[in-house]
Structure 1
Amino acid sequence: MEAEQLKLITLDRLDEKWWPEARRIYHQSFEHGRKPDRIIKQMFDRKLSFLHVVVDKSAVAAMAITGKAENGKALIIDYLAVKEEYRGRGLGEWLVKALASWAASELQLEEMIIEVESEHLPENDLRKRFWLKCGFRMTDYVHTYKWIPETYQAMYLPLTPDPSQAAVEDGQALFQQITSFHHQSFRELNN
C-alpha cells in the first residue's frame, strides 16, 4: 500500500457509494459500544457528523465518523477504524494526520478530541498508545457516564501552530463537549 494511492473522502451524508463498506468496517471494529445504525443515520440527517473514508485504489480501507464540538473549536472523533487486512501498516496514523489537516484547513478548528477507556486493560492501553503515537495528549480527569460502566479519559491534539493556543486542555471541559455531542446524537429518540 503506497501513501500516494490513498485518498481521503469526507462527506456530510451517508451515501450509497461509500457508506455500505464503511459501515461494514464500523460494525466489525466496534462490536460493543457502537451507536445503533438508526442513531448514526439520525446524526447525519441532522448534520451533526462527517463520514471520512480512506480509499486505497477503489477499496475502502479505513473510516471515521467525526463531529464538530459545540464550542465550534474542536473536532470530536467519534469512531475511527481500519479494515482488518490493512492494519499494522500505518494507515490509522495516516488517517489521523489527514483528519487533522482537513479539520485545520477546511474547518479552521483548533484541536481534535477523542475519548478513551481509562481502565488499564491490554486493549485499552493499546488504543491509548496509538493515540499518543499520533500526537494526542492525555488529560488526568476520569469521566464516568451514568449509563456505561467503563470510565473514560479525554485526549486532545492541538491543531494550531502554537500548541499552547489549543482551545481546551482541561479533561473535564473536554468531556462537556463530548457529552454534549453524544446528547445531540441521541436527542431525537426522545421526541
Structure 2
Amino acid sequence: MATDGGAASSPAAKKANLLDPYSIQRLLDETVSEVVKSKGYSEDTRLSNRRLVVGAAVIAVALLAQFYPAKFPQNRDVLLICIALYVALNVVLQIVSYTREKNAILFTHPQAGSFNRTGLVISSKLPRLSDMYTLTIASADPQSKSSSEPVRFTKSVTKWFTKDGVLVEGLFRKDVEKLIEDHNSDHRSK
C-alpha cells in the first residue's frame, strides 16, 4: 500500500471502497480524465452525441409502437416496423460500443496548437479479481499519418491507495503524466 503522505487529512481527498473494484476503477478513471484535460486536451463528445441520437430514435420508435392511435389488429404493420427498427437500432448501438468504444473512458481532440491531427483514446481495464490496473493511450485515428503506437502501463492499484482507501493522487498523476509524455514523445520521434 502507498504511504499516506497527508492525503487522508485533506478535505478533498478522493476515497474508494477497496473491496469494490468498480469503485476503484471509477475513481482512477475520473482522475485520468482530469489529468488528460489539464494537459490541454479537450474532450471529443461526437461519438457519445451520436449514440444519444440513436438512443433517442430507439425511444421514439418504442413510443410510436406504444401510443399509435389504432388498436392491435389495425396497427399490426406499424408494430412490426417498430419492432424491426427497435432491434436494428439497438444492434447499431451494440456494434458501436463493441468496435469503437471498447474500454474507452475518454476521447479527446488534438492539443491546441499541436501539429498532431489526431486526438487520444484513453482506455482502462481492471479485471474483476485482480489488483492490476491497465491504462492505455492510443491515437483516436490509427490510420492517420500523425498517429503513433499505443502506450500502456499495468500496475497494482495498491501503489496508489492507502490502507484506508484514499487515493495518493500525486503518485497516480505522475504515472499518468509519464504515460502521456511517452505517447507524445513517440510523435516527436517520427
TM more than 0.5:
no
Greater helix share, 1 or 2? 2
Structure number with bigger Rg: 2
- Say which structure, 1 or 2, has more relative contact order (CA 8 Å, 6+ apart): 2
Could you state the TM-score of these two structures normalised by the residue count of structure 2? 0.29
Greater strand share, 1 or 2? 1
Could you state the TM-score of these two structures normalised by the residue count of structure 1? 0.29
